[in-house]
Structure 1
Amino acid sequence: MTKADDTRKASYHRMAESLRDLERTLHGAARGAGAVPDEWHAIAQGVGAGRKVKLTLWVEADVLRFFRSLGKGHTTRMAEVLSTFMHARLAGVVKGPEDVDYSAPYRTEEEQAALAERKRKYDALLEADLQTLKRVTRGG
């Protein structure tokens, strides 16, 4: 087997594992409610891309090489991937390691209380944004 074959095989397995994880998450959501979370309907009815801002972003060389190999519009495709991930997180379909608090055992009670309050406020802001998005996509 060639190095290219090894790379292709490793990429395939990484992709397959990611898809299996996503499928498990989606099935869990489907068992709890409908097949598609309500938030995704709002996303699908959204008005499209918003204002864009320029940013400097460090990405792995192979990721950039891959998107560039797709030709013109590679940065737009990269932005679409990031947007899709963001909406999957906002819809509660995808969860990640940032949801795990590895340092909790090392915090004082005061630090934990302050973080819990900050999280409560942040969650309330996210919920308000989601409700606004739902209202806007419903036309009122």
Structure 2
Amino acid sequence: MPQMTQAETKQRAAFHHMAEVMKGLEADLRWGLTDSARIPAGWHKIAAEDPTPKKRHISIRLDEDVLKFFQAMGAGYLTRINAVLRCFMLARLAGVVKGAAEVDHGQEARAEYLREMEAYMKEKPELDRLMALGGKAGDAAYAKASARLDRIQALLLGMLDGVVEDMEQG
């Protein structure tokens, strides 16, 4: 079996997570557990509405490649675009897709990085002194400094991955 790319691994994990969530929802609906936390309050309102919502004529600008993609599927492409938008809306209502107000945008990672850097800078003079002494104390100081720097490096790499992901998503 060939090695999966990172994107394929993430896609597979997202698919399995979605399947688990849907299995849970199915069980809740089958057993009539309408008070379940897995069923967002907004869905109850949608379920009570007319199942065929009224259509409204609007003008919308789409990226050319998006429009071509849907048009290439043939007749009914506007209905498919509406279905994709409805699916997105329901995913947001279900909390499956986070909105801008719910997304961290790396704030927590930045704060953790700053905490780690501050702690390292406070420890550094003492660690340098102990490393200069050598022996067991120097080795222990070196190990502590290395572990802290590895953690800082991992946080930076994680933040960079987040930036690259944000750039790829638009």
Q: TM-score, normalising length from structure 1? A: 0.44
Higher RCO (CA < 8 A, seq sep 6+): 1
Q: TM-score, normalising length from structure 2? A: 0.38
Q: Which structure would you say has the larger Rg? A: 2
